[in-house]
Amino acid sequence: MLTHKSPIMVRIVPFLVVSILLTGLPTRLCAQQPTSPNIVFILADDLGWSSLSARMDKADPQSASDYHETPNLDRLAAAGMRFSQAYAPASICSPSRRSILFGQTPSRQGDVSFEANYQPAAGKYATLPQVLKNSNARYRTAHFGKWDIRAGFSPEDAGYDESDGDTGNKNGNFAIEGTDKWTDYFITGDPKRANTLAARAANFMTRQAKAGTPFFLQISHYATHVEKQTTAESYKKYQKKPVGKKHDDPAWAGMLEDLDRSIGAVLDTLERLGIAQNTYVFFMADNGATEFMPAARNRLDHPSQFPKPMRNYPLRGGKWTLYEGGIRVPFLVMGPGIEAGSQCDVPIVGWDLLATFAELAGEAPASSGVDTDGSSFVSLLRGETDRPVVRINNALVFHRYNEGYPHSAVIDGDYKLLKFWKSGKVELYNLKEDRGETHDIAGENPGKVKELAAEMTAYFRKVNPDLLTRYQ
């Protein structure tokens, strides 16, 4: 059971203006819609693959939460396509966001070197909004919410027309001195600015609909990153609800439902404006949820070493690790031509988004170039779900920059190899048969270990050879 070290902490945020913006919108403002589609990309923070009340794999009841309720994300899944094997670029937030912005792997981009090499003013690499505007100069672009690139440049510097600035976690927090983010929580009318973000999105979309202008809108939520914030109603609801085996925190569950309600307001706005039929809505998380609350220090241990299921169960691990719980995330898409209630099991990854958005905006089918790693998966959205995404490097290679436990992973087909650089240990899993990564088959398959290790080495040698020597 969840325990709190202190009473509920109350801070009510006025949101009269938010309510007016969300409820007072005119209906069907645009008589003539632009030819190019609108794209809304909603990015959640620290949200696990099995955290929604909708299953991420329709065949697996464990791929949904046993406690949380997310009716609007369930609505998005019912109206479009869910991806059962979608990956965030990294197991923590900033490298994931950098990867999405430039269509490159964190391995290629580097860690401390990123700020020096990726300043948009230098024009060395194209950003997502720049690519879209190159596809169609009429696109208007906006980024609202958490930015957290940590490289000294703003969304406008990267090509967005509007934004909330160079924001980070602190912009969504109250951060009252002396509180514990794992056990304390706040009761508020605008948890994690979710209502404010919905209102900002509604204002932007309304203006573009009036002008008949195609738009790209990224809404980067501060939820569900702790600290925990929720409305009084949501908290009371989950406080009374029987807890699940893997999800049992009423404040965190309330925060997720408040986020879900904000997403529902965005979907409702698209309907009211009469532009839903010409708009693609993408939803994903920047990485998986923390494996426990409070987080475990021994997070790399085998699941059998813990007294209860991890919060990303049936996946192993969580945020900070390259086990599936850290990088496999919920991913939903609805829009023109996407079959309602469909599912795709082809692996996709966050660095594919730039090429995918570009093709939707009017570019020829996009594939990896010299300086990008992702490729478009528009063909999957159109129902060709039996074909893999063809990238310049077909294996998916991940790296966790952390001096305490640096590790890398490569996924190719059904197999996944992890390498822990300080110990030299390697682990091999068949994800088709063992999605939870509980049975290491490295010792039984030396040939497959050698094959995947060679793929990883070849990729690092090509894009960032320093990774092959820095831990020796």
Residues 105-126: pLDDT tens digits? 999 999 999 999 999 999 999 9
Cβ partners under 8 Å of residue 233, min gap 6: none
The 8-class DSSP code of residue 230 comes to: E
On the question of pLDDT at 416 being above 60, the answer is yes
Closest CA to 37 of 312, 313, 378: 378
Helix, strand or coil for residue 272? helix
Helix ranges, 83-151 (H): 93-102, 106-109, 114-117, 128-135
Mean pLDDT of 231-241: 98
Kindly report, residue by residue over 263-275, the tens digit of the pLDDT.
Answer: 999 999 999 999 9
Sign of CA dihedral 163, 165, 168, 169: negative
370-379: average pLDDT = 90
The helix/strand count (H/E) of the chain reads as 13, 17
Domain segments of the chain: what residues?
A: 34-381, 396-468
pTM (predicted TM-score): 0.93
pLDDT of the residue at 363: 76
Q: What is the mean pLDDT of residues 35-62?
A: 97
Residue among 334, 466, 348 nearest 399 (CA): 466
Is a pLDDT exceeding 90 seen at residue 352? yes
Confidence of residue 222 (pLDDT cuts 50, 70, 90): very high
More confident residue, 9 or 53: 53
pLDDT exceeds 60 at position 296:
yes
- Domain 34-381 homologous superfamily, CATH: Alkaline Phosphatase, subunit A (3.40.720.10)
- Interval 168-196: pLDDT, tens: 999 999 988 889 999 999 999 999 999 99
For residue 438, the model assigns a pLDDT of 98
Separation of alpha carbons 140 and 446, rounded Å: 52
What is the pLDDT confidence band of residue 16, given thresholds at 50, 70 and 90?
very low
Name which of 41-50, 191-200, 357-366 the model is least confident about: 357-366
pLDDT band at 35 (very low <50, low <70, confident <90, very high): confident
Q: Mean pLDDT over all residues of the chain?
A: 92
CATH class of 396-468: alpha beta
Burial class (CB in 10 A: 0-12, 13-18, 19+), 443: exposed
Which backbone phi and psi does 342 adopt, to 5 degrees?
-90, 165
Measured distance CA(418)–CA(425) in Å, rounded: 8
Top pLDDT among 33 and 466 is at: 466
Hey, what amino acid is at 125? Y
Closest to 256 measured CA to CA, from 47, 86, 63: 47
Domain 34-381 and domain 396-468, same fold? Reply is no
Q: According to the model, what pLDDT value does residue 9 have?
A: 47
Note the pLDDT of residue 125: 95
Which has the closest alpha carbon to 198: 261, 283, 111, 273? 261
Predicted local distance difference test score (pLDDT) of residue 364: 67
367 and 376 Cβ atoms separated by less than 8 Å = yes
